[in-house]
Chains A and B, each alone.
Chain A
């Protein structure tokens, strides 16, 4: 029997079914990791183990009703997706099927065995050639430009393994996704047709030319991240936290406000309503920099917790492959994976069905390897086409019981460089984002310091260090307060506790449901400078004998507590308040210390 493309159709027979794992016979001419169709229902699966004539197949759809003796049909390729224009703004499931088209075709509930291309092959695009006939090109070189959305220019690249001279290139005008838009004569004399899209196996990382140091920050608009625990473009970060600590809200915030050019958001084994929320919000919300709808730069991938587990395992790879594709065009891509723990649990479930010997807590022994392989696909690179692009990966981790010593959190920590630990106590008192300033860290702080000091504020690094030191001192003072109360403390320590509370209330907290949702680095640093300058000035007064209680009565401090409500556009209001605060402190100082005028001027 031959299939539509003329190949001999290879079929095997199902011999056993156990959940998402199906066993089949007569498959010795199938390939390892080959994508197959399972049973008369046409369920999508992938061969994950070969044993003489039997294969184990991981099925990406529910297997209920599948019978022994039904066929398994080979497709001749690995689990892959079509990379091409039309991905932006799309909403795909874990194996790349467009959920909006499934909804149009099948209604509210997801049906099984549907086959659709992940992008629309008949859509017509306006193309502009970027190379001329006769030019020699190699893999990754940009051939065509397409305005995929008003925000993003899609760049069609020379596909894998093709090198030679351009014999034909589509002229300026319109072409369909499935059209041949170029022909390249290779060194061996063959002519390779190039289409607007290319198929790519999601488990294979896309190649690049070389890696660069991630020394430019990814501006997230979140003060606690940008100011204390920054991440670079091309960096990797993890957000661990128990339930209700705000992982998803933080991920959404980063997807909305970070200054990446492309955002790939993977909802992996999480709530359906959360994806719906993104889907309803992103077409309406504006990117603060370009003033265009966020959806024009976003790709959503959702395999919610009630969708098949095997496809949940695949969703992370589908996401990172799309991220790499846009990186190769020369874009800064940010990928959010919410949550990597659900992905690790999918690995565990599949491993359990395969009866593999478990390592810790039932997780397979290869868990750290898989985590490393995934996170290492992030980075800032020079692409094969000589462009500069980056992928930043931010993975949420959901440790059972909020315990950070469990295997997924522990292994993840080995492969990431920024760790934003969410704290249940902060979340309970509704301090959001509940990123703990004591447990979090970022190794990118030093790498991005130059950038911040050149572009934002010359004192960025110093302020960051001072603020962190103050918060650390406050942490130990708080322990004393918990044991003995605040009254026993000397004023110098009370001042530290008070300044830390200013930092917590006016700087670290940020309400994601008001205008304060996005904070420019300029506004962030202005608030931090104001608080830290207050501290230095007040410290001199206190050490000169001025009681803290008098300083705390200053009405400017009430304004300082509410300072984050002021719009970032109104930077003058910040410098005005800073000035008044300084003058008022001086006045207080003069009144109290009429005879001690020897403290030095200075500050940030």
Chain B
């Protein structure tokens, strides 16, 4: 339903076309641009005034001829069709079906930008998700409704880890569980791995896929995560499912945003990224959560590759300021053949403290994890020292830390790619490791818990 049509454009630059003022176009409205081939290309109005209208075209501006281009305005924002039949479907980055099953029928249309959740309407998340991975469950527990990114680097097994988490996560009521996967700028073979593994481990009917591949239009990437999250919110808050959203790779998203910002001539901030990168990312990440009166939840597991493994790069840095913790992969552990190569020290789950301990996992969990962190941190210091003075020069206590560190990495962090460990097992493994240290070193654990759980040698 066209609200207005217009022929002829003034200017084409970057991903933008500039038109004269057109009555009735709203800011951020969807626009369809028709080149001489007659095929519609979707775009949106990113700046409007009484003199000009600036349209950002998702599919790119190649082949547009100023005199011969028609523009149609729809008078609404970018939307996606939603209905229960969306489960099991696959879409491209702009929400167009790629599985040959035609459009999603019988549902409602929803603006993909969504609206902010009123903080009063939120329920503070505290339901523990058992991922079956010791180091995550014990030291950086995932909570239903949390946004916990994986900070990775090129060539590290972040995809495997995400798939393992999706496959093993035991959320109450499996039939209520759904996975929404958004691939942004990913390689064809990565996309295929995800599709195959996720379809195998979950019945296909619980999966919704969005794929913007590496060679797809870059500007589409701005829309892809918003499409996925709109679907996730619908599944969680209307169909009351527990939804796990995996988004990979957020770095491609941020780069698309930068490209757009620079093309628009905006003043860049750090490393050329726009000043609003934080706010923009927040409008994505903050869509995770649990709300009052609905039994569903949106848990988010975004993956980002840190450029040059640099955690202070604006993308991981700003992400870390918004998300509720991070899982950091380490190249050094990966080189030692340890899987998953999760470095516990910079990793963190902010929601963990309220989802573990008595009544959630086990009473000894909080102090045990604190002690494991402290001990592993000490081991890293001792290791650095040993590199300088040699192992022999270390004190007796320091030597026990070295042994602790080795076992911690090889038996606690390290586990099989489809090994699924129960939380009780993981905690017991933790106590086994602590028993290698002198009792006087266990300053983080209450004396009574030491009595109760520590196995005497």
Contacts and interface: CB of A to CB of B under 8 A. Distances in A.
A99 B446 contact: no
A103 B121 contact: yes
A212 interface: no
B430 interface: no
B70 to A, nearest CB: 21
A569 B384 CA distance: 43
A89 B172 CA distance: 35
A100 B118 CA distance: 9
Interface string B344-381: 01101011011000000000001000100110011001
A506 to B, nearest CB: 8
A485 B122 contact: no
Contacts of B278: 269, 305, 342, 345
Interface stretch (A186-194, A273-281, A365-373, A531-539): A273-281
A305 B322 contact: yes
Contacts of B119: 91, 99, 267, 272, 275-276, 279, 302, 304
Contact of B346 (A110, A428, A513, A558): A428
Contact of B326 (A65, A244, A561): A244
A348 B27 contact: no
A562 interface: yes
Contacts of B283: 306
Interface stretch (B18-26, B33-41, B186-194, B411-419): B18-26
A446 interface: no
B47 to A, nearest CB: 5
B286 A429 contact: no
Interface string A58-71: 00001111111100
A305 B324 CA distance: 13
A483 interface: yes
B28 interface: yes
B125 A428 contact: no
A271 B286 contact: yes
Interface in A22-42: 23
A309 B50 contact: no
Given A109-B115, A273-B289, A487-B393, A306 B121 contact: no
Contacts of A63: 27-28
Contact of B120 (A18, A100, A558): A100
Interface string A95-125: 0000110110011111100000000000000
A15 interface: yes
B395 interface: yes
Contacts of A591: none
A374 interface: no
- Does more than half of chain A's interface fall in helix, strand or loop, or is it mixed? mixed
Given A69-B23, A108-B292, A271 B325 contact: no
A428 B312 CA distance: 15
Contacts of A306: 116-117, 279, 282-283, 285-287
Contacts of B145: 273
Interface stretch (A160-168, A230-238, A397-405, A411-419): A397-405
Nearest to A552: B440
B117 A349 contact: no
Nearest to B378: A429
B253 interface: no
Given A110-B115, A244-B348, A272-B286, A400 B322 contact: no
B201 to A, nearest CB: 29
A482 B29 CA distance: 60
Contacts of A50: none
Interface in A1-51: 15-18, 23
A550 interface: no
B354 to A, nearest CB: 8
A17 B115 contact: no
B368 to A, nearest CB: 12
B5 interface: no
A108 B48 contact: no
Contacts of A487: 393, 395
Contacts of A401: 311-313, 317
A505 interface: yes
A514 to B, nearest CB: 9
A402 B311 CA distance: 10
Contact of A18 (B24, B47, B370): B47
B270 A361 contact: yes
A269 B394 CA distance: 47
A553 to B, nearest CB: 10
A517 B312 CA distance: 31
Contact of B115 (A18, A111, A428, A482): A111
Contacts of B311: 401
Contacts of B385: 481-483, 485
A493 to B, nearest CB: 14
A486 interface: yes
Of listed A23, A63, A244, residue having the most chain B CB within 10 A: A244
Interface string B282-315: 1101110101111000000000000000011110
Nearest to A399: B317
Given A243-B321, A342-B278, A558 B27 contact: no
A256 to B, nearest CB: 15
B113 interface: yes
A171 interface: no
A430 B350 CA distance: 12
A110 B267 contact: no
B389 interface: yes
A484 interface: yes
A362 B121 contact: no
A352 interface: yes
Contact of A68 (B21, B28, B237): B21
Contacts of B440: 558, 561
A490 interface: no
Interface in B392-443: 393-395, 398, 440, 443
B351 A273 contact: yes
A402 B354 CA distance: 26
A486 B27 CA distance: 66
A309 B279 contact: yes
B226 to A, nearest CB: 12
Nearest to B441: A561
Contact of B291 (A108, A277, A307): A108
Contacts of B321: 243, 398
B394 A99 contact: no
Nearest to B28: A64
B49 interface: yes
A16 B324 CA distance: 38
B197 interface: no
A64 B125 contact: no
B154 interface: no
A400 B317 contact: yes
Contact of A482 (B76, B282, B366, B381): B381
A213 B358 CA distance: 47
B77 A65 contact: yes
A147 interface: no
B269 interface: yes
Interface string B333-348: 0000000000001101
Contacts of B353: 513
21 contacts: A16-B48, A16-B50, A16-B51, A62-B113, A64-B27, A68-B23, A102-B118, A108-B117, A109-B116, A109-B118, A111-B115, A269-B282, A273-B145, A277-B354, A306-B285, A309-B279, A352-B276, A401-B313, A429-B345, A429-B377, A486-B398
Given A91-B119, A307-B116, 6 more contacts: A62-B113, A106-B118, A109-B121, A243-B317, A244-B325, A306-B117
Interface of A: 15-18, 23, 62-69, 91, 99-100, 102-103, 106-111, 242-244, 267, 269, 271-273, 275-277, 279-280, 302, 304-307, 309, 342, 345, 348-349, 352, 355, 358, 361-362, 398, 400-403, 428-431, 481-487, 505, 511, 513, 558, 561-562, 565
- Top-4 shortest CB links A-B: A401-B312, A16-B49, A305-B282, A429-B377
